[in-house]
């Protein structure tokens, strides 16, 4: 029997994971420690998403702008990503998680880009949860790239609709996020899924990402369930 899914449960949850640096600073520790703790929150959140029957979970793990951070921090973050992939992939696979990567993965170098592609291929048949990792991702770059693809394909202006354009974005085939969560008290989109979050419910929490857990995820879903989504329309 299929799992019962409430009408008010989000199919797709996207998260801007913020506050690793402040979590570490509050403890007098280097930022790298905050990022490392952040990977534990990633693990807890994936488990919570599976538990709550969420179909798609998109995590903003590295933005296009993160390349501008000090080299040492960029190295720490890419190292954590590699480590995460090597250590968690088998478990993700066993738990039925399909991994998809959006963003400019080539910027991480051929080896890591290749490992990401292999992880996608290995988990391609899984159906429990689709985990979308946004890596070197920027919403504006995604839109510009889609426009380039349309031009390169010689699309006629009249063939370009919201639907055909959405199919040229990195998120082709992925439903738009129903709920966007941002941690750490910041209330911005920060060039995340600009096109895709047009009608997403936004949820901001003061919890710093390394402290985020199943209870916080459930609180966001409860809040979502209370909201009335109208997509710009007004009911009769």
| Residue numbers at the binding site for ligand FPP (CB under 6 A) | 17-22, 31, 35, 38-39, 42, 61, 66, 80-81, 84, 184, 209
- Closer residue to ligand FPP in complex, CB, 10/19: 19
- What are φ and ψ of residue 105, in 5° steps? -60, -25
**What is the C-alpha separation between 228 and 7, in angstroms, rounded?**
11
Minimum separation from the CB atom of position 3 to ligand FPP (A): 26
- Closer residue to ligand FPP in complex, CB, 150/192: 192
Q: Are 210 and 19 in contact (CB under 8 A)?
A: yes
Give me the sheet containing 56-63, strands edge to edge: 97-102, 129-137, 56-63, 12-16, 179-182, 201-204
Minimum separation from the CB atom of position 20 to ligand FPP (A): 4
Q: Name the residue whose CB lies closest to ligand FPP.
A: 21
Minimum separation from the CB atom of position 102 to ligand FPP (A): 13
Hey, which residues are catalytic here?
18, 66
Helix axes 31-51, 214-226, angle to 10 degrees: 60
- Closer residue to ligand FPP in complex, CB, 12/35: 35
Q: Are 212 and 49 in contact (CB under 8 A)?
A: no
**What is the C-alpha separation between 30 and 131, in angstroms, rounded?**
28
Q: Are 119 and 105 in contact (CB under 8 A)?
A: no
Minimum separation from the CB atom of position 118 to ligand FPP (A): 16
- Closer residue to ligand FPP in complex, CB, 171/184: 184
């Amino acid at each position: 029997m299929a799992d019962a899914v409430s009408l008010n449960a989000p199919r797709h949850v996207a998260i801007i994971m913020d506050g690793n640096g402040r979590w570490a600073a509050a403890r007098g520790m280097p930022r790298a420690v905050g990022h490392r703790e952040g990977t534990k929150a990633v693990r807890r959140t994936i488990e919570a998403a599976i538990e709550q029957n969420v179909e798609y979970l998109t995590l903003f793990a590295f933005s296009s702008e993160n390349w501008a951070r000090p080299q040492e921090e960029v190295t720490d973050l890419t190292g954590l990503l590699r480590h995460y992939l090597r250590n968690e992939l088998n478990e993700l696979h066993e738990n039925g998680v399909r991994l998809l990567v959006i963003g400019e993965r080539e910027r991480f170098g051929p080896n890591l880009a290749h490992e990401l592609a292999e992880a996608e291929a290995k988990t391609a048949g899984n159906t429990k949860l689709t985990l979308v990792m946004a890596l070197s991702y920027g919403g504006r770059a995604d839109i510009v790239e889609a426009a380039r693809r349309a031009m390169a394909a010689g699309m006629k202006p009249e063939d370009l609709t919201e639907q055909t354009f959405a199919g040229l974005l990195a998120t082709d085939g992925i439903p738009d996020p129903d709920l966007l969560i941002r941690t750490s008290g910041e209330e911005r989109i920060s060039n995340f899924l600009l096109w895709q979050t047009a009608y997403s419910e936004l949820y901001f929490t003061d919890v710093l990402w390394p402290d985020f857990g199943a209870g916080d995820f459930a609180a966001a879903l409860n809040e979502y369930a209370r909201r009335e989504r109208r997509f710009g329309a007004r009911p009769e």
